[in-house]
Amino acid sequence: MCPAPRRPSGTGRYFMTTAGEIMHRGAQWIPAHETLDRAAQLMRELNVGALPISDENERLCGILTDRDIVVGCVAMGRDPARVTAGEMAQGTPRWIDASADVTEVLDEMQGHQIRRLPVIEDKRLVGMISEADLAQHLTDDQIAVWVESVYARSVTH
């Protein structure tokens, strides 16, 4: 299968047209039963700040970030060797199909104010899309809209 054509962005960069082209490959699951200390070690080994969490059937059940480990475990006085990744999984996990258009990627991330998005192909994890991937592959206008919507704070009085 040939990749979709790349179009000039007007900034010297080229932007891709599908999630599969934007993502970085090599993402790995952390099983829900695995402890947070092991998750932190795996993040260090892979040089990443987030890991998708899988259930026993290798289905996405959440995403664990380095911040989750620090704020949700360590800062709460809990022992990362006794807390599992599954315990930290909250909400409905979001993902995108590898064939999804870049517009769908941005809509999903903006609509749910998320900074990392697992990419699935044939019911298997094939990659992740992060802020760095977006910055590398999108136009300046696309990045500006994404940043504004994902980092927007609700103002309450």
CATH number, domain with residue 54: 3.10.580.10
Name the nearest CA neighbour of 116 among 86, 137, 93, 84.
93
Residue 39 near residue 68 (C-beta atoms within 8 A)? no
Nearest to 65 by CA among 102, 99, 104, 30: 30
Q: Would you say residue 8 lies in a domain? A: no
Write the pLDDT tens digit of every residue in 51-100: 999 988 888 889 999 999 999 999 999 999 999 999 998 778 899 999 99
Average pLDDT, the chain: 84
Top pLDDT among 3 and 148 is at 148
Please check the confidence at residue 155 and state whether its pLDDT lies above 90: no
Where residue 118 falls among pLDDT bands split at 50, 70, 90? very high
Give the domain range for residue 41.
15-150
Q: Is residue 156 part of a domain?
A: no
Let me know if residue 9 belongs to a domain: no
C-alpha torsion angle, residues 76, 79, 80, 82 (rounded to 10): -130
Sort strands 7-8 and 14-15 into parallel, antiparallel or unpaired: antiparallel
What's the structural domain count of the chain?
1
